[in-house]
Amino acid sequence: MNTPTRPSSALTVQRKPGSKTSTAMKPSALTPEDKALRAAFEAAYEREISQSSHGATPQAALHAAAIACRETLARRWAATQQADAARGDKAPVRRVHYLSMEFLMGRALSNALAALKLTAPLEAKLAEQGLALGDVLEREPDAALGNGGLGRLAACFLDSFAELELPSFGYGLRYRYGTFAQVISQGRQLEQPDDWTRNAPDWELPRHDLRYHVGFGGRVEVDASGVRRWQPAESIEAEAFDFVVPAHYSQRVSTLRQWQATAAPIAFKPFCEGDYTRAARHQVLADSINWVLYPDDSTEAGRELRLKQEAFLVSASLQDLVARHLREFGSLHNLGKTNAIHLNDTHPALAPAELMRLLLDEHGLGWDEAWKICCQAVAYTNHTLMPEALETWPVRMFEHLLPRHLEIIYEINHRFLEELQQRFPGDNALAARVSLIDEGSHGGERRVRMASLALVASHRVNGVAALHSELMVQTIFADYARIWPGRFHNVTNGVTPRRWLQQANPALSSLLDSRIGDGWRKNLAELGELSALAGNRELGEEFLAVKRANKERLAGVIRRELGLAVNVDSLFDIQIKRIHEYKRQLLNLLHVISRYQAIRDNPDANWVPRTVIIAGKAASAYQMAKSIVRLAHDVARVINSDPRVGDKLKLVFLPNYSVTLAESIIPAADLSEQISTAGTEASGTGNMKFGMNGAVTIGTWDGANIEMAEAMGVENMFVFGLRADAVAKIKQLGYDPKLYVEENRQLKRVIDAISAGVFSNGDTERYRSLVDSLLGRDVYLLMADFADYVATQAKVDQLFADRAAWAERALRNIAGMGPFSSDRTIAEYVDRVWSVKSLT
């Protein structure tokens, strides 16, 4: 097996006497099949590059390499589909259809080259043309198909689908602009379209023969036989584009099938009359479905577009599923026993209603059989404990856009409430709480509860970390857990080590190979063997050398992007995730300000140098989050220009966070900030990526932090703050954040500095609402956790000052990451949710 190409700053690790031999460190003998693959790749590359009108430029080389890889992947895709179709109806695992509004894929070419063992041949070809591999790979834009942890989790799952040879399709939308490109102007976040497809290589496989009609609006009519038929007022065509994800250790691939909305040709009569706007209006409406992920829902038009996107995804995907199933089996009666439909959070929760519509209206099944099939097929993963994140839609909007679906939801609800009345007679309060229709808690407006629809129709429902799953059945879904106690379970998230360790950190990967062998690359649990070696001083020094090289690489990115020089021997303290109050980037900033004030007071003290790095996007309509972004820049401007501070403290905000940026940041991290208020983070996957790369975590007892601490030993994590039960209790008793400020002089000084305009050029109004929120409500208990957070950061300083002790702690973090592979996560889904036995 070939080692992935190392970045120029990575170290070549020498194998020590007595260490394990690694096949990953030695050139593996090429099989005849490998040789044939390389020859085909090189021929395809030469053909494509010869057709470039500009010659062998980095951009031309990128496109040529992508097309050459795509040809191999297309053949593997066809072989995979043929194998899956031949499985028959006795296979123990059902074909999985994973519905998600986002898939944060990142760059594709480097992953494909590594999986196909084509990195070295391409590097040689490029060298002949005077090109460097790194320069070519840098030309590929990140596929802007996702936003944050939800989308990156889905991308990791596609990797594991291929690796575990799971019959599957991921289904998403082919966004043109993703969320947005984040631009910082005078400290403020501005949003610009991220037109990633403009210079993207020819990577996808268009499926022009796969088109399905998706309707909106209109009315429901009853034919002579009493069958209800939906007559949409608007019909949009969904065209398929396949994004192929290869396995690294087999010839299997997985498929992300993305839907592109297209409209009928222009209306010719208005065009001839010169009314070009009216002639093309329906095309603009269709195009808008693929413009942006999560359009701003602060307007009615934005909310309606979101619902149309979700309906478009669900309808096209389920029509594709049904058509494939009929080709393979000729009958729909066994659809639920051979297919799993998995809802990645609440966005695709319309799936049960659409599946029922297809089975009832299009294929003539009776209600009881259709509902049985639906419940067999559908399963739901919840990703949040926040009630406001559980989508609800006005009934009037359903009546306008999806009238037939609303009828079906009413019927599902009627039958569900009838069953509930039999089981819990007279409990009208329970019925009101679990009904699929909220009759008026939103200012008197009736709304459809989408999470409730997913819960009622699913045969299995899971959370994504042990604490999250426990709190889920105690809080937001307590009534449903009482009705169906056996329906709920936990599957803790995981991440793919192929991208987040092998490719992102090749020097560390080689070091691991030299000490414990390369078996961890296929079975991450083998990282546990590192635990016995964690105290080895020589290994510790090698690890720190690898870490320093990665920090130099990130320092180069910071210098290039921001013109700021940072000390690579300082502690790299990193928090990268979407900007949100519950993620508590603001708590991080409060500590930075406190540290700055302490350094100003005593600059000659023996300070442990620290570089604090933050990256993430705030939702365009989320004003508090955007205020936090601005505060970060204001604080950075003051600290980074203060000569009395120098290299003792730097604050960096890296703009336009992406998968590619994360691949540079995570390997360089010394300290990983996972500081959400206990009980608010469902799981987290960034915490796993950081731990896998040898960062030590400072975090609350929340989400997957808990299981990580248990896996590595809680003494190897810096844990602080109130726990979830204490958070609930303090809120119940009546939380007054001002008391914590008044009792803590250090905290009061920080708040006073922000209020006085110390970081805003004397502008005392800029952060008034932010300070008022902290002192008045402080929903996420920053004031309550501040003192313990600062005290724990002092312990971080103390450990970092001891190089050997820090290296041992970091190595123990890596050793504990075995359970957090997405391969383990998917294996658990297969066993409990997607296998045929899960239906019994």
More confident residue, 751 or 54: 751
- Is 248 labeled as catalytic in the residue annotation? no
Q: Give me the catalytic one of 583, 630, 648, 812.
A: 583
* 54 carries an active-site annotation: no
* Tokens coding 605: 């003290």
The residue from 577, 580, 650, 766 that is catalytic is 577
Domains 87-107+142-490 and 567-800 belong to one CATH topology = yes
Concerning whether 16 is annotated as a catalytic residue, the answer is no
Task: Determine the CATH number of domain 87-107+142-490.
Answer: 3.40.50.2000
* Model confidence at 42: pLDDT above 60: yes
Q: What is the DSSP letter of 19?
A: S
Task: Select which of 176, 499, 617, 689 is catalytic.
Answer: 689
pLDDT computed for residue 25 by the predictor: 37
Helix (H), strand (E) at residue 275: none
Could you tell me the CA-to-CA distances from 42 to 6, 61, 71 in Å, in that order? Answer: 22, 12, 12
pLDDT-derived band at 496, boundaries 50, 70, 90: very high
Q: Give the per-residue pLDDT at 29.
A: 63
Alpha helices, H only, 458-564: 466-474, 478-483, 497, 506-516, 537-562
**174, 578, 591, 617: which one is catalytic?**
578
The predicted structure's pLDDT at residue 27: 40
**In CATH terms, is domain 567-800 a member of 1.10.10.10?**
no
Minimum mean pLDDT range among 8-22, 411-425, 636-650: 8-22
Catalytic option among 119, 685, 697, 825: 685
Least confident of 14-18, 189-193, 303-307, 743-747: 14-18
pTM for this model (two decimals): 0.94
Does 8 have pLDDT greater than 50? Answer: no
Burial 188-213 (b: 16+ CB within 10 A, else e): ebebeebebeeebbebbbeeeebebe
Please say if 689 is a catalytic residue.
yes
Q: Ramachandran region of residue 9, left (φ > 0), alpha (ψ -120 to 50) or beta?
A: alpha
Q: Specify which of 45-59, 386-400, 778-792 reaches the highest per-range mean pLDDT.
A: 778-792
Q: How far apart are CA 585 and CA 587, in angstroms?
A: 5
Instruction: Report which DSSP code applies to 204.
Output: S
268 has pLDDT over 80: no
Model pLDDT, residue 265? 75
| 125 tagged catalytic | no
Residue 144: pLDDT band (50, 70, 90) is: confident
Q: Which of 70, 174, 383, 766 is an active site residue?
A: 383
| Residue-range domain boundaries for the chain | 87-107+142-490, 567-800
pLDDT of residue 7: 32
Residue 685 is a catalytic residue = yes
pLDDT of residue 696: 98
Q: What is the mean pLDDT of the chain?
A: 93
Q: How confident is the model at residue 13 (pLDDT cuts 50, 70, 90)?
A: very low
10 against 815, higher pLDDT: 815
User: How would residue 443 be classed by pLDDT, with cut points 50, 70 and 90?
Assistant: confident
DSSP lists the bridge partners of residue 654 as: 615
Give the range among 302-316, 348-362, 391-405, 431-445 with minimum mean pLDDT.
431-445
pLDDT at residue 769, rounded to an integer: 97
pLDDT at 274: 80
Stretch 702-728: mean pLDDT: 97
Name the token pair of 400: 């306008």
- Per the model's pLDDT, the better-predicted residue between 840 and 317 turns out to be 317
How many Cβ atoms are within 10 Å of 798's Cβ, its own excluded?
12
Q: What is the mean pLDDT of residues 92-106?
A: 97
